[in-house]
Copies of this chain bind each other. A is one copy, B any other.
C-alpha cells in the first residue's frame, strides 16, 4: 500500500505543495519518528522549511542526529490543533486541525554555508532579523551541532475545519454543540537581565486566530 495514500477521510487530505509548506511554516514544532533497534521513537523538535526540504538541528551526540545523519527513513509530522469540535453525539466529537506528514530518507547537511543558512533560518523563524544580531556560532559550537533534513518529496497534509457533522436526527438533541477555537499564542516577552535592542515585536501566533 502506498504509505501516503489517504485512505481515511480522503476528503480531508491533499498532496498540494503550497498547503504542505504553509502548515510546516505555521507549526512551531514537529515530531520526528524513526526506528532504532527495531523500535519506534517520536522526538519533538523545532524545524524550518527551506525550499523543498525540512531541516532541524540537534546535538551531534543525540540519537536523533545520529539516526538522521545516517540516512535513515523518518516520518516528520507537524500538527496544528485549531479547535475542539463538540458534537451532539459522542461519536462525532472531533478536532479541527492541520497536520503534515513527511516521509523520507533523512540526510546530513555538511556544506558549511548551507549549515549556517539552516541555523540562521531556525532563528529567523522565531524573530525575523534576529540571526544577524546574535553572536554567531563558534567553531566549537558548530562542531557540536548536527544539521539534518528530510526532502519534501513524499508529503501529505490532512485537516479538518468547520462545525460538527452531527447526523440529522441528532441535531434536535438538547445539548450545546459547536467549536471551541484553539490557538498557540505568545504572551508578553520576559527579558533576561537588562534588555538590549532587538526585542521581539512580531510575536508568533500559531493556529487559527481565536
Contact = CB atoms under 8 A, between A and B. Distances in A.
A68 to B, nearest CB: 11
A93 B134 CA distance: 10
Interface of A: 3, 7-8, 28-29, 31-44, 46, 59, 61-63, 73-77, 79, 81, 84, 86-91, 93, 95, 97, 99, 101, 103, 119-120, 122-123, 126-127, 130-131, 133-138, 141, 145, 163-164, 166, 170-171, 173-193, 195-200, 203-204, 206-207, 209-210
A176 to B, nearest CB: 4
Nearest to A131: B90
Contacts of A43: 77, 101
A22 to B, nearest CB: 17
Contacts of A126: 84, 86, 93, 180
Contacts of A123: 90, 93
Given A133-B175, A137-B89, A163-B192, A187 B198 contact: no
Contacts of A42: 31-33, 42, 75-77, 101
A137 B183 CA distance: 29
B134 A89 contact: yes
Q: How often does this chain occur in the complex, in copies?
A: 2
Contacts of A173: 134-135, 196
Residue in A90, A136, A173, A198 whose Cβ sees the most chain B Cβ within 10 Å: A90
B36 A33 contact: no
B190 A86 contact: no
B187 A183 contact: yes
Contacts of A186: 84, 180-182, 210
